[in-house]
Structure 1
Amino acid sequence: MLDSKQMITIKGTKDGLTLFIDDHGSFEDVLEELSDKLSEYRPKKDEPVVPVTVKLGDRYLNDRQKKQLNELIGAKNCFSIHSFDSNVVHRDEALTWKEESEMKVVNRIVRSGQVLEYVGDLLLVGDVNPGGKVITTGNVFVMGNLLGIAHAGANGDRDAVIAASYMKPNQLRIADYISRAPDYDSEGVYMECGLIDEEQDKIVIDRLQILSRKRKDISGFERRMLNG
């Protein structure tokens, strides 16, 4: 059991050191105790730098406090902080995560020359007409005709998918992969999806049902929508 007065615990691992900081008490007390512990260590000459992972529990550190820890651990010691691990995230980080993980539901027709752009996943209830474009950082689901351009994973997510009730696009893009209209049946396809096949190194079209096997991270809501 951790001593109630002890705020710092250091454990060695095969990857370096793990520094556990109790999430109770003031940050000033943390610095003081850590300074005392490090003062007992005298690095040998030419000793290699040891990476340190800092476990914070439910404690949040701002950039200034992280800098203070970096300076304290690195000063005259052969240690370097590799990462901070905290259960707490900043409000801005939480809002960004929420925005990126939410599915946006839009009911409209994307006409020629129009661009519909969103962060995260998009469920479009309507058509994408020839010359229209849909761009998202996540997945694209079109409950209608996809006849224009759809770009999923616009920030580089190669696991993103594009699905539509009827698919005969001018172009599909997933991350940095592009698949043009000649890749599809001349009559188009119903209830199918486009995704990157790593073995073939290109975008392929397949049945919607394969998503539950090939993209297991798809949420329950999306899976119900795709499988009916």
Structure 2
Amino acid sequence: MGHKHQYVTIKGTKDGLTLHLDDRCSFQELLTEIEEKLSANQQILPDSPPLEVHVKVGTRYITNSQEEILRKLIRKKKNFTVGSIESEVITKVEALKWMKQSGMTTVCRMVRSGQVLEVPGDLLLIGDVNPGGSVIADGNIFVMGALRGQAYAGRDGRKEAVIVASVMKPAQLKICDIINRAPDRFQDSKNEMECAYINEKEQIMIDRLQVLSLLRPDLSLRILERGV
């Protein structure tokens, strides 16, 4: 009798068991082997408290109904509960959402007093933000013009987000949950591009644009990849 292929690998962790599933076999073959292996493990630990089982399905796409079948199969065993089921495959909706959040929106106009410009990813504004105007982005903000209103970057929680402006004279800056109201130095700022970022002391700092290559070395590569 030939050697049976192992489609399921079980590893014990401090959080319970992790099941690594082969993504090249049929779903039914996985179910059969999971049943066998969990039964074998159950015999070894008959009186133990329930163990969490974390399932990693690799590059296999798992439908909602298949996920529920997996959960029922694991739960029906006395000693196991389902901790998580993870796939490396994302749906088209999730992919489009990610692309939208990680992409850059380019806008060519002036943001006037009372106007609010919001984008899901990074913002490249070619124009000024007048006093009373606001620009908001989940990611970074690049203003190719004068920033005299409010700018809020990293709205989705990205503390590494930055704000860049050709003329940095804002009424208020906000990155993630850190706010910096305009200090006196904004009024005396030279007409050169500057950047705002959160430093290691959780403060928003303003510096020359050139420091970004040291502070955010991956930022230049991301911008080049977008063709900006």
TM-score class normalised by the smaller sequence: 0.7 to 0.9
When structure 1 is superposed on structure 2, of 143-152 and 54-63 the one drifting more is 54-63
The question of whether the paired residues in 1 share the 8 Å contact of 2:59 and 2:87 is answered with: yes
How many positions carry a matched residue from both structures? 221
Q: How does 1:40-119 map to 2 (within 5 A)?
A: 40=40, 41-42=42-43, 43-45=45-47, 47-119=48-120
What corresponds to 2:129 in structure 1?
A: 128
TM-score (ref. length: structure 2): 0.86
Gaps of 5+ in 1: none
Q: How does 1:67-216 map to 2 (within 5 A)?
A: 67-182=68-183, 184-189=185-190, 190-199=192-201, 201-216=202-217
SS in 2 for 1:184: helix
Percent identity over the alignment? 51
Q: Decide which structure has greater strand share.
A: 1
**1:125 CA drift (Å):** 1.0
**1:134 CA drift (Å):** 0.4
When structure 1 is superposed on structure 2, of 47-56 and 122-131 the one drifting more is 47-56
The question of whether the paired residues in 2 share the 8 Å contact of 1:212 and 1:223 is answered with: no
What corresponds to 1:22 in structure 2?
A: 22
- Distance in 2, Cα, partners of 1:169 & 1:107: 19
**1:103 CA drift (Å):** 1.2
Amino acid in structure 2 at the alignment position of 1:65 = Q
- Distance in 2, Cα, partners of 1:76 & 1:69: 12
State the Cα deviation string for residues 145-183 of structure 1 (Å, max 9, x = none). Answer: 111111001122221110111100011011111111235
- Distance in 1, Cα, partners of 2:25 & 2:204: 53
Amino acid in structure 2 at the alignment position of 1:24 = R
**1:219 CA drift (Å):** 4.2
- Distance in 2, Cα, partners of 1:218 & 1:152: 15
RMSD: 2.4
The question of whether the paired residues in 1 share the 8 Å contact of 2:213 and 2:220 is answered with: no
Amino acid in structure 2 at the alignment position of 1:54 = V
- Distance in 2, Cα, partners of 1:68 & 1:166: 58
The answer on 1:31 being equivalent to 2:31 is: yes
TM-score (ref. length: structure 1): 0.86
SS in 1 for 2:195: strand
Gaps of 5+ in 2: none
